[in-house]
Structure 1
Amino acid sequence: MVGAATNNLRDVSLEVPKKALTVFTGVSGSGKSSLVLDTIAAEAQRLVNDSYPSFVRNRLPQLAAPEVQSMSGLTFTALIDQRRFTGNARSTVSTASDTAPLLRLVFSRIGEPNAGYSPAYSFNDPSGMCPVCEGLGTVVDIDIDELIDPEKSIDEGPVRFSQFRPGVYRWKRFAYCGLFDREKPLKDYTDDEMDLFLYADQLKLPNPDPRFPKTARFDGVVTRMRDVYVKNRPSKISKPVREELDRLTAQRVCPECGGARVNAAARASLIDGRSIVDWTAMSVAELRRLLDGFSDARVEPALAGIRRTLDALLSVGLGYLSLDRESSTLSGGEAQRVKIVRHLGSALTDVTYVFDEPSTGLHPADVQRLNQLLIRLRDAGNTVLVVEHHPQVIRVADHVVDMGPGAGSRGGEVQFEGTPAELRQSDTLTGRLLARPLRLAHAPRRPSGEVLVERASAHNLAGFDAAVPLGVLTAVTGVAGSGKSSFATDELPRQHPEFAVVGQDPLRGGVRSTSLSVLGVADDVRRVFSDESGLAPAWFSFNSKGACPACRGKGYITTELAFLDDVATPCDECGGERFNERALSVRVEGRTIADVLTMTAEEVARLFGDRDEIAAKMRWLDRVGLGYVAVGQSLDTLSGGEKQRLLLAKHLSGVTDLSRERIVLDEPTTGLHPGDVDRINALFAELVEGGATLVVVEHNLRVVAEADHVIDIGPGAGVDGGRLVFAGTPAELAAHPDSLTGLALRIASGAAE
């Protein structure tokens, strides 16, 4: 590769060894992803697409060429990133991992009584799905009492849903059907009239009003709502209408199948007393143990395939998942590991596999298993490229590329190339931090009190009691799936509501929301430009008057390709800046509103230094470790960890008395370089010194080592976890013989090898 300049890369030229495991590291925002994902992987994918015939190529996503002078030696590239699975309710862990077809095959061959061929055991096939919920496991009920106002007549609008208000199309359907007295309140309807009004289905009308559609038949209000808004909920729906539907409908377990999704015949077909529903409801670890003692020559090849997949899921630390879990509920890290499993059995060789921080969400004990998978892929004759911060992953690399020296405009250069041992001897920030053993906190701060969590039993928790000290930093640790989050984000705030949870839940807003809007300073920035120009603040919003007329403020034009992914191309009119010419004609200190959105928090704070309502919140954004992110970057492009730190900045910017703050954080260091983790540790220490109580769910040993108190949950995941393993200081945990976290601390601090 010669002269790469994608995003913040500064004319990078690099040779990456083939059929080796290469790790790209560096501080957050240094250019690792720009180099690996946006340049190497993007160009490889573009060239593969160009190899197809034009008919196929025109139906594939049109990828822009990365900014690079030349590249050679590229191979077919598979990108395994942390994008979550789509929100398709018909996708589960079993379907996503390709286990479902093998399970159905086994039951169709040896299940008794036999329900039929393989599709008869599928909740996605009409021959196997439950007829009531159509294979979803849940049904949506319409709350009639909430929907209908019996005191009102048709002319007065008896349906409490805006899409049926008087005068609109759907109101006219029952107003002009000729079946009802439009002036009579619904409470005076006979039972037959009310049944028709609510549940009529394609009724041929004997004497409709001339204004009723001539070719149409009459559907009741509930029937129409089910067809239009429940069974086939529109993909594009306004926020007010969505909120109305949430109020008028409720989702519950299907009364026919009890959530099993398949029909009665599939549920009744058993192997040794268990149905396919029972098999998929087990955790991966439980099902694997069951299959250890089970064999049948008629289906042995299928059973062998299931065992291989289950072993792969176990090896990436997903033994606690059940196969019937919806794939859309998996975290980004869990989804990435399921994708890894798909590739492990591939017969392809000389493939380039690109991983984006695969250790995310993994305990050090699980990272060791991840390393073995990466090595397996390499040893099968493939090239493995990994964007990663984790010291354990860096340690097993054949080759390391360290990017930096800083983030954003201060990064984009190759600081080091060589082996992990050579990196530790180098003078780069990454090298110095890797060479330094972890220091355990031996003098923890004294708590100001404590709260007791009693009989913790959420999810897999075994009903233990645990004290959480106040006024200090507590780390909650354990392997993935052990019950850490269940304890800290479910049980603790449920029993003690004064604890505020700052988690990684999706932020609403997507492409039209930014860090500025989340922090509540977007309007303040617009007012500055408004005062400068005399134009209304709406002219400086890409969601209002200031929007580019061509792309409507998105910065790109989306082309829909039917069954394929939509294709987005930069808007030619605004060049991706999102604003129209009038908005861009106004400047503050020489900067347009579009320029401001490309700045980092530090730059924005400097530009608006005389406006504390803006600068103060920008400083919080920098302090939580998001100083490298452009303040105008869309929320849908941020990782889970970045979104959580953004929410933390929002929370802290509104704090007036730290001594009253009790905050729970769920893995806030996700995606951070060790140097950035040290900055977060410094912020945590500052908050605690100010009197705040912090409870942090973490795998990162740099955070655990700095904690005043550690609650370790385990010892394993799922049914093998959920118990209190240890409570005490990090130094005491490192000496604990039965804790995997303690063992990891001993190794990282140099006390064990």
Structure 2
Amino acid sequence: MTQQPADHIADSHDLIRVRGARENNLKNVSLDIPKRRLTVFTGVSGSGKSSLVFGTIAAESQRMINETYPAFVQGFMASLARPDVDRLEGLTTAIIVDQERLGSNSRSTVGTVTDANALLRILFSRLGQPHIGSPQAFSFNIPSVHGSGAITIEKGDGTTKVVRDFAQLGGMCPRCEGMGTVNDIDLTQLYDASKSLNGGAITIPGFTADGWATRMYSESGFFDPDKPIRDFTDTELHDLLYKELVKVKISGINISYEGLVPKIQKSMLSKDPDAMQPHIRAFVERAVTFQPCPECHGTRLNEGARSSKVAGISIADACAMQISDLAAWARGIDEPSAAPLLETLRQLLDSFVDIGLGYLSLDRASGTLSGGEAQRTKMIRHLRSALTDVTYVFDEPTVGLHPHDIQRMNELLVQLRDKGNTVLVVEHKPEAIAIADHVVDLGPRAGSAGGEIVFEGTVDELRRADTLTGRHLDDRAHLKQTVRTPTGTLEIRGASTHNLQNVDVDLPLGVLAVITGVAGSGKSSLIHGSVSGRDGVVTVDQGAIRGSRRSNPATYTGMLEPIRKAFAKANGVKPALFSANSEGACPNCNGAGFIYVDLGVMAGVETLCEVCEGRRFDSSVLEYKLGGRDISEVLAMPVSEALTFFAEGESRIPAAHAILQRLSDVGLGYLGIGQPLSTLSGGERQRLKLAVNMAEQGGIYVLDEPTTGLHLADVEALLGLLDRLVDSGKSVIVIEHHQAVMAHADWIVDIGPGAGHDGGRVVFEGTPAELVADESTLTGQHLARYVGG
């Protein structure tokens, strides 16, 4: 039901008007959103919240801004398709603050993705003693230049003039080139010395005996390709491993030849490990060891940059400090000549503390931040912005936050609104919904059963509304009357990863154990550092799912394989016909379902394939049926429908049914089994990983915030799933902030008392009832209020 906006927001200039939105599962949605207010969008996962807020409103704002740039500039920008909506009015510039991980480039740190490093470099260039040069002399991304460095130009009268001397241009450590680490390659993992090149000596992934990569070496002329490598001369072995870039001719083609070691360094070691294919990543982990650079001690900076100090510390020391301590150091500097700079730096560092990230350090690699930490780091860029009348779009900003920290996040969202901005928030937590000026509830359910606006109004009106969100808004969990008896213990001794302070703790087995504590207290360090990786432990973390844009739940879970075989058996043809990436692909779009047109300097365009109409398969393949459905119709089914389809009759496939049951158990019944993974939310991706990992045979399951992205109504279903895992004989360890999960636990280990060096200790061990009765920790205090109503 769509309600008219309140009178005080009825002026068309004060509204964002959406008419006829049909992106993804939205069903011709129309609504008015008040500007300069805080609007929260609620609804079950998959109800259409992100499709409306991110896929329609924010996407069109960004697309229209991009169109204001010259065509040449647009050629370097991402191609943005026009959202499926009839009309949008009243849009302002949209700034998206989502949970996408920050770029994990090895040179990217917390300090470089904010202004903190830049401000420190200016500060040290002005106040540092000894004085070594300009701000770039303190940058680990700018190489050093040794020698006199005098730049001269010839004047008209024949004389020369020295422009400047930059004997030390940048602050990069020459040994590690500003990376902070050096690598050592195990040569025995690169080749089998007993074999020749033609005999398959090279054991690096991608190097087959007759492949092009191997031919570059075997036909280079530098050695006999039929001679075992152990018989190579020193020169031959050097040419194989370390030879610098040279041109060689192979089969009449000039190609660039270089030794195996520099080739690996460029093609593999320069990439983000998380972006590598599994077999490549396994090779790198096996063949390469990384250690702190012995020359710069991991600081990335050369000796000159490390030698200059302000108030007793170097810039390397400053970046290694906990940000809350660095903020205190900055407040202690009294230097009138740098007063404005110092004030800006202090405000920035205080923003980290205010947003709950004071436990980080500026030298922390940005790629190691969680989705919630990355989102809050992005938020810092906007807190003190001079921009107003901007639309800020947040995707569950409370993710990863302890109940104690949610209040601070709420205050920051309100501050952004009070500066005259429109704040749109997709959220599930009642504490965050409570601060909304306006609420838009989507549903009534997920997927094809969602995509409608079921409520608009105030938070109090939502409480009285007969919607799923309204009915569950004031839900409170109750403490268990009885808890399970452990079947054993998992000992952790002397844990000291990151901020952990030599922790000893026994985790009970055969029960649901929940690890709690404020963000940055050391929960993940304890569990991932001391439990994950042990034999029999299955870990489901928040890392991104790897795969191409052709990947979908059917391919990711392995479900497509038995489905293809069943289609092949039923029709007496090859299984390859039922793969859109193989013989069955539509010849026009090569199985992609769309055609991509490169318009040169203009943004490229994706259009639906007019031959297969997005079904991805050749028309002849679609003539083959299983249970009366062709392969494209099967892949279009939601999990709930496929669960019934593969349960009985001609289409009965037990292997596929078992996978579908796990997908349904984790709350993904609405998801299309052929839906591209790129369209899934963060919470959906994590639950998909959980469903896959449930098939593992480990005895201990470690889950990292499994409630991420879950609606209030779905948390109960998740608790049921965790109970079934435990009752089946598994031990379940959950890192979690959600108080309903805490209340449901058999055992709680609370880490704290604070974050960073103020945390890292076990401050409580016991049952939830004992934690509530104790009330000596932040977690205990908040849980007591939660279960008390």
**TM-score using structure 1 length:** 0.90
Residue pair 1:616, 1:653 contacting (<8 A) in 2 also: no
1:624 aligns with 2:641: no
CA distance in 1, matches of 2:601, 2:330: 38
Q: Counterpart amino acid of 2:454? A: Q
Which residue number in structure 2 is paired with residue 129 of structure 1? 172
Look up the SS of the partner of 1:629 in the other structure. coil
1:356 aligns with 2:395: yes
Which residue number in structure 2 is paired with residue 479 of structure 1? 518
Which residue number in structure 1 is paired with residue 165 of structure 2? none
1:74 to partner: Cα distance: 1.3
Look up the SS of the partner of 1:13 in the other structure. strand
Per-residue deviation, residues 369-390 of structure 1 (Å, max 9, x unmatched) = 1111100110000000000001
> Residue 785 of structure 2 is aligned with which of 742, 747, 750?
747
> Residue 435 of structure 2 is aligned with which of 382, 393, 396?
396
Per-residue deviation, residues 171-194 of structure 1 (Å, max 9, x unmatched) = 677667777677766555565665
1:224 to partner: Cα distance: 5.5
CA distance in 2, matches of 1:512, 1:387: 27
Residue pair 2:273, 2:281 contacting (<8 A) in 1 also: no
Q: Counterpart amino acid of 2:420? A: G
1:365 aligns with 2:404: yes
**Pair 225,618 (structure 1): closer, same or farther in 2 beyond 3 Å:** closer
Residue pair 2:79, 2:603 contacting (<8 A) in 1 also: no
Pairwise mapping of residues 325-724 of structure 1 onto structure 2 (< 5 A)? 325-493=364-532, 497-557=535-595, 570-610=608-648, 611=652, 612-653=654-695, 661-724=699-762
1:535 to partner: Cα distance: 2.5
Residue pair 2:559, 2:655 contacting (<8 A) in 1 also: yes
Look up the SS of the partner of 1:511 in the other structure. coil
Q: Counterpart amino acid of 2:732? A: L
CA distance in 1, matches of 2:564, 2:746: 43
Which residue number in structure 1 is paired with residue 163 of structure 2? none
Look up the SS of the partner of 2:28 in the other structure. coil
1:365 to partner: Cα distance: 1.3
CA distance in 1, matches of 2:327, 2:396: 28
CA distance in 2, matches of 1:164, 1:538: 26
Q: Which has the larger displacement, 16-25 or 599-608?
A: 599-608
Look up the SS of the partner of 1:384 in the other structure. strand
1:155 to partner: Cα distance: 6.8
**TM-score using structure 2 length:** 0.86
**Pair 136,688 (structure 1): closer, same or farther in 2 beyond 3 Å:** same
1:283 to partner: Cα distance: 2.1
Which residue number in structure 1 is paired with residue 10 of structure 2? none
Look up the SS of the partner of 1:606 in the other structure. helix
Q: Counterpart amino acid of 1:110? A: L
Pairwise mapping of residues 150-169 of structure 1 onto structure 2 (< 5 A)? 150-151=193-194, 159-161=202-204
Q: Which has the larger displacement, 424-433 or 17-26?
A: 424-433
**Pair 704,244 (structure 1): closer, same or farther in 2 beyond 3 Å:** closer
Q: Counterpart amino acid of 2:20? A: G
**Pair 253,557 (structure 1): closer, same or farther in 2 beyond 3 Å:** farther
1:129 to partner: Cα distance: 1.4
1:447 to partner: Cα distance: 3.2
Per-residue deviation, residues 619-651 of structure 1 (Å, max 9, x unmatched) = 221111122222223334444443332233233
Residue pair 1:228, 1:234 contacting (<8 A) in 2 also: no
**Pair 452,11 (structure 1): closer, same or farther in 2 beyond 3 Å:** same
Per-residue deviation, residues 27-59 of structure 1 (Å, max 9, x unmatched) = 111111111111211222223333445554555
Which residue number in structure 1 is paired with residue 292 of structure 2? 253
Which residue number in structure 1 is paired with residue 112 of structure 2? 95
1:513 to partner: Cα distance: 3.0
1:216 to partner: Cα distance: 8.9
**Pair 678,238 (structure 1): closer, same or farther in 2 beyond 3 Å:** closer
1:351 to partner: Cα distance: 0.7
1:696 to partner: Cα distance: 1.0
Which residue number in structure 1 is paired with residue 160 of structure 2? none
Q: Which has the larger displacement, 229-238 or 172-181?
A: 229-238
1:686 to partner: Cα distance: 2.9
Which residue number in structure 2 is paired with residue 84 of structure 1? 101
CA distance in 2, matches of 1:232, 1:491: 27
Per-residue deviation, residues 664-697 of structure 1 (Å, max 9, x unmatched) = 2111111001101111112222333344322111
CA distance in 1, matches of 2:254, 2:451: 65
Q: Counterpart amino acid of 2:382? A: H
CA distance in 2, matches of 1:707, 1:62: 47
Residue pair 2:71, 2:601 contacting (<8 A) in 1 also: no
Q: Which has the larger displacement, 37-46 or 572-581?
A: 572-581
CA distance in 2, matches of 1:234, 1:703: 33
CA distance in 2, matches of 1:235, 1:501: 16
Which residue number in structure 1 is paired with residue 308 of structure 2? 269
Which residue number in structure 2 is paired with residue 281 of structure 1? 320
1:243 to partner: Cα distance: 5.7
CA distance in 2, matches of 1:651, 1:237: 20
Q: Which has the larger displacement, 23-32 or 450-459?
A: 450-459
CA distance in 2, matches of 1:136, 1:286: 25
Q: Counterpart amino acid of 2:30? A: S
More strand by share: 2
Q: Counterpart amino acid of 1:141? A: D
Q: Which has the larger displacement, 690-699 or 563-572?
A: 563-572
CA distance in 1, matches of 2:598, 2:299: 35
1:566 to partner: Cα distance: 7.8
Residue pair 1:173, 1:212 contacting (<8 A) in 2 also: no
Q: Counterpart amino acid of 2:670? A: Y
Residue pair 2:75, 2:601 contacting (<8 A) in 1 also: no
1:557 to partner: Cα distance: 4.6
1:231 to partner: Cα distance: 6.1
1:326 to partner: Cα distance: 1.6
CA distance in 2, matches of 1:260, 1:351: 38
1:484 to partner: Cα distance: 1.2
CA distance in 1, matches of 2:485, 2:267: 60
Q: Which has the larger displacement, 341-350 or 248-257?
A: 248-257
Q: Which has the larger displacement, 511-520 or 98-107?
A: 511-520
Q: Counterpart amino acid of 2:671? A: V
**Pair 693,349 (structure 1): closer, same or farther in 2 beyond 3 Å:** same
Residue pair 2:71, 2:602 contacting (<8 A) in 1 also: no
Identical positions, percent: 47
Structure 1 vs Structure 2 CA RMSD? 3.3
**Pair 278,10 (structure 1): closer, same or farther in 2 beyond 3 Å:** same
Per-residue deviation, residues 350-369 of structure 1 (Å, max 9, x unmatched) = 11111111111111111111
CA distance in 2, matches of 1:320, 1:236: 27
CA distance in 1, matches of 2:431, 2:246: 68
Residue pair 1:109, 1:298 contacting (<8 A) in 2 also: no
Residue pair 2:430, 2:474 contacting (<8 A) in 1 also: no
**Pair 742,568 (structure 1): closer, same or farther in 2 beyond 3 Å:** farther
Q: Which has the larger displacement, 30-39 or 626-635?
A: 626-635
Look up the SS of the partner of 1:625 in the other structure. coil
Q: Which has the larger displacement, 22-31 or 59-68?
A: 59-68
**Pair 711,569 (structure 1): closer, same or farther in 2 beyond 3 Å:** farther
CA distance in 2, matches of 1:330, 1:281: 16
CA distance in 2, matches of 1:736, 1:306: 40
CA distance in 2, matches of 1:575, 1:70: 25
Q: Counterpart amino acid of 1:734? A: V
Look up the SS of the partner of 1:256 in the other structure. coil
Per-residue deviation, residues 39-83 of structure 1 (Å, max 9, x unmatched) = 211222223333445554555444333222222111111111111
Residue pair 2:538, 2:693 contacting (<8 A) in 1 also: no
Residue pair 2:185, 2:289 contacting (<8 A) in 1 also: yes
Q: Which has the larger displacement, 441-450 or 364-373?
A: 441-450
Residue pair 2:93, 2:390 contacting (<8 A) in 1 also: yes
Q: Which has the larger displacement, 508-517 or 416-425?
A: 508-517
**Pair 374,159 (structure 1): closer, same or farther in 2 beyond 3 Å:** same
CA distance in 2, matches of 1:527, 1:750: 55
